[in-house]
Amino acid sequence: MIRCLFITLLSIICLTTTCGQSTRGTICEVFNYTVEGPESRDNPIAEIRKLWPCFVDDVCSRHDVPGLREILTRVSFHNTDSEFPNDVDALIQQWNQHNRIMEMLGVTLFTLEVPHKMDSTIFVGELLYPDDYKGFKRREVRIPGLELKSSNYQRFVETHFLLILYLLAMELQHDDGKDAVALAKDRPLIVALLSEAYFRIPTDDKEADKSMQDLYSLVRDAAKKEEPTHENQR
Amino acid sequence: MNVSLIRTVILGLLFTALPLSAFCEDEDMGIMVPSFEGELGENVGTVLWLKVWRSLRDPLRHGAPSAAMWFTDEVFRGDQSFEDVENDVARNAVAVVLWGNTIAFGDGVLAQPRLCIIPNKVRRNGGENPVTWQVVVSTQLTTLRLEVTIPQTRYQLPPIMLDNSLLSHYPNVHLVPVYRRRYNGPPAGEPIGKLGSSFRNVQNDGDYSEVIYDDDAGNGHMGWVYFPELKGDIPIVDYVIGIIRLLRCDYQAAIDMLSRSAASADNTSAPLKIDSLLMEALATAKLKRDPGVQLELAEKLNPYLQSTAKFKIVYLISKIQAGPTKNKQASLSALESEIAATSYIFPLGDPWLETAKQMLYAMRQ
């Protein structure tokens, strides 16, 4: 009886602690922005939500890669009130509400001046990591030219695209060969995402944050990695 | 001699000589620029409509498609999908749609334009496909064909800023003010009339066009229309015009516009810049000239783009076919290097790249 109870208890603990290690099948994403200055009558999340499908069409029209639309449309948008909760219980609650993966991308919107400006520092990170995760973690990235000029929500959308690139990088880092996930192995998809990111966030700019350069190197190397031949597959 | 009689005769001759019509629906290729959704959206749509309209030219060669501007009171919603818009125009000859929405922000307004191109809807007399660059290599067993075409058909274009007080004078095409003469800058005098429902373009001069238009009584007049610049509209309008000219086989005129679009697009519109360069390269190849410079520039802007790699491979094959025999070996090596260097961009076993490899092999024999 005690043994049965012990096993049941152990199973519950195991199930609870391994939830963060599950394969990333869904990307749920939280966009977190802070307004500094008077309240803006804009609703960035609503605007981004409207713009995103057109952005996906734009990107997919340029690349004939079947998996691309699938990965881009996995993104969903959740509006949160300015500050993200620091309380662990609250984080876990949000984690459960938003399925398995939660990303956050924070920017600051300065509304003291018109047109409003967006801070070029964005915060990208995974809220909860699997225990064995050794890849990219929370980063603050300065991206030159990412200022929001007037209601340019296209730039907001591009920051979300950057988020997807980060997810890809995380997958690549996490991929130890045993637990390979489809996203990190889909070479045309990697190249298409890299290509799109290359359009939008210049790498040759000296002001670009080193973490951006690292990200590009990682993805570029993965894209150029030699395909396994039939010989070495055997 | 009676001055008014001479004027009437001249106007009559001009009406006969200029075949382009603004609202004709029976054309080979339609271009639709509806009102934008949102604040000042009608005005933005009107200005963009006029800017595209004034660029239309007579077909230069036999069989080239004619073009007509379509006007519609129906507004495509800003968040309407590309598919919806393409379905809406599926039953008519419209091959290019430029639409979008505007967003009020602070004291200003920002327009977010979108563009879809449907090249297969252009009716053509004759076999030439103006947006396809094809190379053919024949072997003893088969004929290999490789082609590149317009790299993208759905665009979310860079935003346009609206800070022009003149925009309020452009609620729709019929109400556009006509002035007695052109000015150096925005119009300083009072308008002499409105464009109305029947008008034709005589000549373009800077930000003005000279037009012939009918008044309410049907009497013809001449005057000047001013086209206010919207901040950020230049690369967009130039690209749209360049594509229209390309679809109409008007290659040199397309090159002029596409090179302007590539030069004026800034870093925030890099995709437009690269596509302008690729389309310019295609038009240059149609004229049997060397498009190598445009392709190098496009590759420099983004080395990971499959469409640029395809264009470059087709270019190198055409160069081998057109070049003197003594340079053939070097050109073949260049093609081989290009295929090897860019193969990682393509999926494993990609049919297009496999055909390119077969062509290389066949040309080596």
Put simply, the answer to whether A150 touches B105 (Cβ < 8 Å) is: yes
- Per residue in A33-51, pLDDT (tens digit) is 677 777 666 666 777 778 8
Query: Which residue do the tokens 């499959």 mark?
Result: B306
Cα distance from A160 to chain B (closest Cα, Å)?
Answer: 15
CA-based nearest residue to B82, from B118, B37, B136: B118
- For residue B171, with 0-12 CB atoms within 10 Å meaning exposed, 13-18 middle and 19 or more buried, which class applies? middle
Question: Could you tell me the pLDDT band of residue B147, with boundaries at 50, 70 and 90?
Answer: very high
C-beta atoms of A115 and B106 within 8 A: yes
Both tokens of residue A73? 């449309």
Q: Which two tokens stand for residue A151?
A: 């209601």
Pairwise CB contact (< 8 Å): B153 & A64: no
Mean pLDDT computed over B75-87: 83
Q: Name the more confident of B365 and B26.
A: B365
User: Which runs of E-coded beta strand occur in chain B?
Assistant: 29-32, 67-70, 94-105, 108-117, 132-138, 143-149, 154-156, 160-162, 177-178, 193-194, 199-205, 208-214, 220-226
**Per-residue model confidence as pLDDT tens digits over B13-40:** 333 333 333 444 456 888 999 999 888 8
Q: Beta strands of B141-207 (E only): which ranges? A: 143-149, 154-156, 160-162, 177-178, 193-194, 199-205
Q: Does A35 touch chain B (CB under 8 A)?
A: no
Question: Is the CB of residue B113 less than 8 Å away from at least one CB of chain A?
Answer: no
| Residue A207 forms contact with B (CB below 8 Å) | no
Give the C-alpha separation, A1 to B84, whole Å: 64
Record the tokens describing residue A146, joined without a space.
């990412």
- Please name the member of B103, B114, B152 whose beta carbon is closest to the beta carbon of A151: B103
Mean pLDDT value across chain B: 84
Mean pLDDT over the full length of chain A:
66
Name the pTM for this structure: 0.82
Look at residue B178 and tell me whether its pLDDT is greater than 80: yes
- Give the residue from B272, B231, B266, B269 showing the smallest Cα distance to B109: B231
Contact A199 B274 (CB under 8 A): yes
Q: Do A151 and B105 touch (CB under 8 A)?
A: yes
> Which residues of chain A lie closer than 8 angstroms to B274, CB-CB?
199
Q: C-alpha distances in angstroms, B357 versus A59, B143, B144, B313?
A: 28, 14, 11, 10
CB contact under 8 A, A61 and B274: no
Render the burial of A57-66: b for 16+ CB within 10 Å, e for the rest: bbbbbbbebe
Looking at mean pLDDT, say which of A9-18, A150-159, B7-16, B165-174 comes out highest. B165-174
pLDDT 10s digits, B227-286:
888 877 888 999 999 999 999 888 999 999 999 999 986 766 778 899 999 999 999 999
**B303: nearest CA partner in chain A:** A195
Residues forming a β-bridge with A34:
A108
* CB-based contacts of B193-197 (< 8 A; 24+ apart in sequence): B193/B221, B193/B223, B195/B225, B197/B23
Note the pLDDT tens digit of each residue in A47-63: 777 888 888 999 999 88
DSSP SS3 for B18: coil
pLDDT tens by residue, A105-130: 666 777 776 666 666 666 665 555 55
Contacts of A153 in chain B (CB under 8 A): 103, 112
CB–CB of A62 and B271 under 8 A?
A: yes
Residues of A in contact with B306 (CB under 8 A): 63-64, 191-192, 195
Cβ partners under 8 Å of residue B283, min gap 6: B246, B251, B252, B254, B255, B258
- pLDDT the model gives residue B243: 94
Nearest chain B alpha carbon to A49: B79
C-alpha B274/C-alpha B200 separation (Å) is 34
